C-alpha cells in the first residue's frame, strides 16, 4: 500500500468542483476537483480562500466520484487542483478510486512536497507543475523561505518520471507553468528562468499572465495593467520559440 495512504478518500477536503473544464488540462475536457489547503501564500494567488489547511470541505468525495462514474464516457479525465493537492494524504486513495473507474488523472501542483509528488507520479497521466521563479527568487512570490528548493526538487522528479515513461503505453505528460506579474519579476529574471528550465530538460513551458480576478485587494498593480503583463509574456515566449518543444502563453 502507498505509504501516504493513511487517510481514506472520504476524508478528502474538497473546496469546489468544476464539472466540465477545457482549461485545466490542455486539449482535454476534464472535471476539476479543487482541494483545500496550501503551505504557501503566493502574492498573486487567485484562490486565496483555499490556502487555509484547516477549512472543511464543501463537497463530499462520494458525490464527486459518483459524478465521475456517471460522466466518464464524456470526460477525458479528472484534474486534482487546489490549493496544493499533495498537502492532503487522502489524495492518494482518491486518485486510486478515480483510476479504478478507468478515468485518466491529472494534477496541478506547486511542488511543495517532492516526496509526496514522487509517490503519486506513477498513477498520473499528466502534471501541470508551477515553477514560479528561479530558486533564489522563490520566497518573493510564495512568502515562504526554502520553497524554491522544494519546487525545483519536484521539477527534477517529474522530469525523471517523464523520461522513464517516454515511449511507453502510458507516457507521463506534463507542462511547466510560470505565472508572470511584473511587480514580482522582469524580463531579465524570466530569461534566466527560461534558461534554467532548458538546462533541466523541460520541453513544455506555459507563461501565464497574472490576473486581478479573485486575488486579494492588496495585490500591487502593474504599471500599464494587464496589457503590460501580456506584452512581457509574449516577448519572452517569442525569444524562447524553438528552444522548447512548445511555449504557450495564456
pLDDT digits (tens, 9 = 90+) for 38-69: 999 999 998 899 999 999 899 999 999 999 99
18 forms beta bridges with: 32
Asked if the structure places residue 3 within a domain, the reply is no
Asked if the structure places residue 162 within a domain, the reply is yes
Residue 243 sits at the vertex; the CA angle it makes with 241 and 249, to the nearest 5 degrees, is 40
Asked if the structure places residue 2 within a domain, the reply is no
pLDDT digits (tens, 9 = 90+) for 134-171: 999 999 999 999 999 999 999 999 999 999 999 999 99
Asked if the structure places residue 236 within a domain, the reply is yes
Number of domains composing the chain = 1
In this prediction the pTM is 0.94
Asked if the structure places residue 4 within a domain, the reply is no
Neighbour count for residue 197 (Cβ, 10 Å): 23
| CA nearest neighbour of 46 among 108, 117, 104, 133 | 108
Instruction: Give residue 3's pLDDT band: very low, low, confident or very high (50, 70, 90).
Output: very low
Which domain CATH number covers 217? Answer: 3.20.20.70
pLDDT of res. 7: 84
Surface-to-core class of residue 176, CB atoms within 10 Å of its CB (0-12 exposed, 13-18 middle, 19+ buried): buried
Whether the CB-CB separation of 45 and 215 falls below 8 Å is answered with: yes
pLDDT of res. 45: 92
Q: Residue 101: which domain range?
A: 9-249
Asked if the structure places residue 83 within a domain, the reply is yes
pLDDT digits (tens, 9 = 90+) for 179-237: 999 888 999 999 999 999 999 999 999 999 988 766 766 666 665 678 889 999 999 99
* Segments of the chain assigned E as strands: 14-21, 30-35, 77-81, 105-109, 126-130, 173-180, 204-209, 246-249
Amino acid at each position: 500500500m502507498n505509504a501516504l495512504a493513511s487517510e481514506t478518500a472520504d476524508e478528502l477536503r474538497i473546496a469546489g468542483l468544476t464539472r466540465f473544464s477545457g482549461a485545466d488540462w490542455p486539449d482535454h475536457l476534464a472535471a476539476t476537483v479543487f482541494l483545500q489547503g496550501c503551505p504557501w501564500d503566493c502574492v498573486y494567488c487567485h484562490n486565496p480562500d483555499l490556502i487555509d489547511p484547516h477549512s472543511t470541505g464543501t463537497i463530499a468525495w462520494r458525490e464527486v466520484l459518483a459524478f465521475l462514474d456517471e460522466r466518464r464516457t464524456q470526460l477525458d479525465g479528472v484534474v486534482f487542483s487546489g490549493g496544493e493537492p499533495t498537502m492532503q494524504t487522502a489524495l492518494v486513495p482518491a486518485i486510486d478510486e478515480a483510476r479504478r473507474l478507468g478515468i485518466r488523472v491529472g494534477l496541478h501542483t506547486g511542488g511543495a512536497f517532492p516526496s509526496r509528488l514522487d509517490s503519486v507520479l506513477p498513477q498520473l497521466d499528466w502534471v501541470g507543475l508551477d515553477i514560479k521563479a528561479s530558486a533564489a527568487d522563490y520566497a518573493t512570490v510564495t512568502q515562504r523561505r526554502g520553497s524554491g528548493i522544494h519546487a525545483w526538487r519536484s521539477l527534477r522528479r517529474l522530469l525523471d518520471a517523464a523520461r522513464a515513461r517516454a515511449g511507453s503505453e502510458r507516457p507521463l505528460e506534463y507542462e511547466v507553468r510560470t505565472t508572470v506579474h511584473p511587480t514580482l519579476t522582469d524580463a531579465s529574471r524570466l530569461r534566466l528562468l527560461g534558461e534554467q528550465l532548458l538546462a533541466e530538460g523541460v520541453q513544455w513551458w506555459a507563461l501565464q499572465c497574472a490576473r486581478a480576478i479573485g486575488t486579494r485587494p492588496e495585490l500591487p498593480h502593474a504599471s500599464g495593467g494587464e496589457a503590460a503583463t501580456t506584452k512581457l509574456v509574449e516577448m519572452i515566449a517569442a525569444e524562447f520559440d524553438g528552444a522548447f518543444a512548445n511555449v504557450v502563453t495564456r
